[in-house]
Structure 1
Amino acid sequence: MTLDLAQTTAPADIAQEPGSVAGQAATDVLGRIGNLETRLARSPAEIDAAQAVRYRVFAEEMQAQLSPDAVRRKRDVDAWDMVCDHLLVLDTSIEGDAEEQIVGTYRLLRQEVAATSGGFYSQSEFDVDALIARHPDKRFMELGRSCVLPAYRTKRTVELLWQGAWAYSLRYGIDVMFGCASFHGTVPEEHALALSFLHHNVKAKDEWSVAARPELLRTMDLMPAEGVDARKALTAMPPLVKGYLRLGAMIGEGAVVDHAFNTTDVLIVLPIGKISGRYLNYYGADAGRFAS
């Protein structure tokens, strides 16, 4: 499902909300490390630039099959772009406008916004409804469409993406973060080591259990537990997945092959209350560690 979002503005509830991070152009920086900083998109032009970065990564690098209009415009665009906030990583050492400084992006969708805007993106692949129904007292937030330009795929950039999401979640009283994370390619067996490690060691259970939709589920149990070398498995994982595991994230049951995006997707589930204490200390319980 795609819409022509070239002229869309930021979501109304964000742009017009008193004190919203999206409306604080001078004070909305959520994290900074060296010449890199993270904040929310401030304008339709910046959202458009983030969509251009997504196109470069998803279509040009990973061979995602996008719509003819997306290919013509060289933008990765879908219906959720209108209702999500867009977290950016910018390299401030690059001369030019902010749109030219964007090197990474992440989409943030709060539960109350999703409830009035067609639901969560990941519901098309995973049974998120059942997970949310089990926790009526908690506020969920979906993280999605994460991408970083090749030259910036470092620990520092991943730290900033996390810092931005963490600061945003604190500001909006989020209890649980979740979202799809991707392995490149549509053959899960090519990632047998990493997927099997996730299945045997960090699968979400009990009140946090969540599975891929039955008609889409591909097993992650591709190797016996005793045959999985943990060190090699972690090395084989995408940096974002590895970063979430360090924080204490769990993984849903089963993977989903997304042929359009040429990926194998898993579901990340990260309750705020389960985040490792040492990382809360590192980033700051008030998200202030990298904010200035």
Structure 2
Amino acid sequence: MTVRLPVASLAPVTSPVASLAPVTSPVASLAPVTSPVAPRPILRAGPTTVELTDDPHDVAEIQRLRYRVFADEPGFADTIGDADTHLDADRFDEFCEHLVVRHVDDGIIGCARLLPPARAVAAGGWYTSTEFEVAELDGIRSATVEMGRAVVASAHRQGSTTALMWAALLQYLDEADCRYLVGCVSVPIDGPGPRGATLRGVRDELRDHHQAPWQVYPHARAMVDGRVLDDIEPPDKAPMPGLLRGYLRMGARVCGEPAVDDVFDVGDFVTVLDRERGNRRYLERLQAAVTRLAVDGHR
């Protein structure tokens, strides 16, 4: 499992982004971490700042936020994270740069971990590879950032937080000189109707309308309680999770069948956003806003 964003979180930007003021210092090197460094601001809007960090204190706060969001989110398993420490952590955290939205009063209110090419090599590959055979993506690895474990605190799931995160992600891709954003998007197995019905319905919709030119293959065939998806009756209209809906509106594509993550009790789909073949109107509008602000300074 990689991207774990609740339904209301990283949807397409609907609020104006003109209030996003980039911090004047450039994003620092994206080379693999050799020692912790201070947080590096990217964008600022009012009481919130988007930063890149691998500071151990920040990473611990990120892991607490992820645990809290996952534990409270309907449809996710109760076994997520460490119940003693209240942390959601794995070995990939130490290799990633962590994108955080920091509120002046509330601390870190949103986060996503980012694994650009050099760091992916240091980590021994993508997290996505732990669930899928991804050989067809080998040709784009050197131009790809993997995003994962993206969450926003429930009290801050409004358009401004979403806008900051998406704008910062685009700027990060620019600084990393990367064209693609890859990651897994989760669909809870529990939901309206029988277990797995929503996953089956979403799978059918993606297969019919949003297939990528690349195919990945789950290490194990997706099964829910011993049944393959084709044996589960789909709903008339499957509810599409917010992050997945947002990716599709931006022009992202899905690379084949899902994998079932038994720890999170979700089905994961691999998505690839190609900045050169996505929803150009949306992406260019967001990029233009960030570029304009970089010239004009704080608004």
TM-score range, shorter chain: 0.7 to 0.9
- Number of paired residues? 257
- Secondary structure of 2:132's match? coil
- Secondary structure of 2:215's match? coil
Q: Does 2:85 align with 1:73?
A: yes
Match of 1:108 in 2: 114
Match of 2:184 in 1: 180
Q: Does 2:170 align with 1:158?
A: no
What are the superposed Cα offsets for residues 224-265 of structure 1, whole Å, 9 maximum, x if unpaired? 9xx998xx65xx222221221121100110111111012221
Question: 1:32, 1:222 → 2: CA distance?
Answer: 49
Following superposition, the deviation at residue 195 of structure 1 comes to 3.1
Question: 1:217, 1:115 → 2: CA distance?
Answer: 28
Return closer, same or farther for 1:162/1:12 CA change in 2, 3 Å cut-off: closer
Return closer, same or farther for 1:281/1:78 CA change in 2, 3 Å cut-off: same
Flag the structure with more relative contact order, 1 or 2, with Cα contacts below 8 A and sequence separation at least 6. 2
Following superposition, the deviation at residue 211 of structure 1 comes to 2.2
- Secondary structure of 1:183's match? strand
Following superposition, the deviation at residue 43 of structure 1 comes to 2.0
Please list, as runs of the form range in 1=range in 2, the aligned pairs for 1:1-292 lying within 5 A after superposition. Answer: 13=31, 25=39, 28-41=40-53, 43-61=55-73, 62-66=76-80, 70-92=82-104, 94=105, 100-132=106-138, 134-135=139-140, 138-185=142-189, 187-205=195-213, 209-217=214-222, 236-285=239-288, 287-288=290-291, 292=298
**Contact 1:199 1:221 survives alignment (8 Å):** no
Return closer, same or farther for 1:276/1:238 CA change in 2, 3 Å cut-off: same
- Secondary structure of 1:261's match? coil
The Cα RMSD (Å) is 3.2
More helix by share: 1
Question: 2:174, 2:30 → 1: CA distance?
Answer: 20
Report % sequence identity: 28
Return closer, same or farther for 1:64/1:199 CA change in 2, 3 Å cut-off: farther
Following superposition, the deviation at residue 81 of structure 1 comes to 0.6
More strand by share: 2
| Worse-superposed segment, 100-109 or 182-191 | 182-191
**Contact 1:249 1:271 survives alignment (8 Å):** yes
**Contact 1:180 1:266 survives alignment (8 Å):** yes
- What's the TM-score, normalizing by structure 2? 0.74
Moved over 6 A (4+): 219-224
Q: Gapped runs of 5+ residues in structure 2? A: 1-28
Question: 1:44, 1:74 → 2: CA distance?
Answer: 16
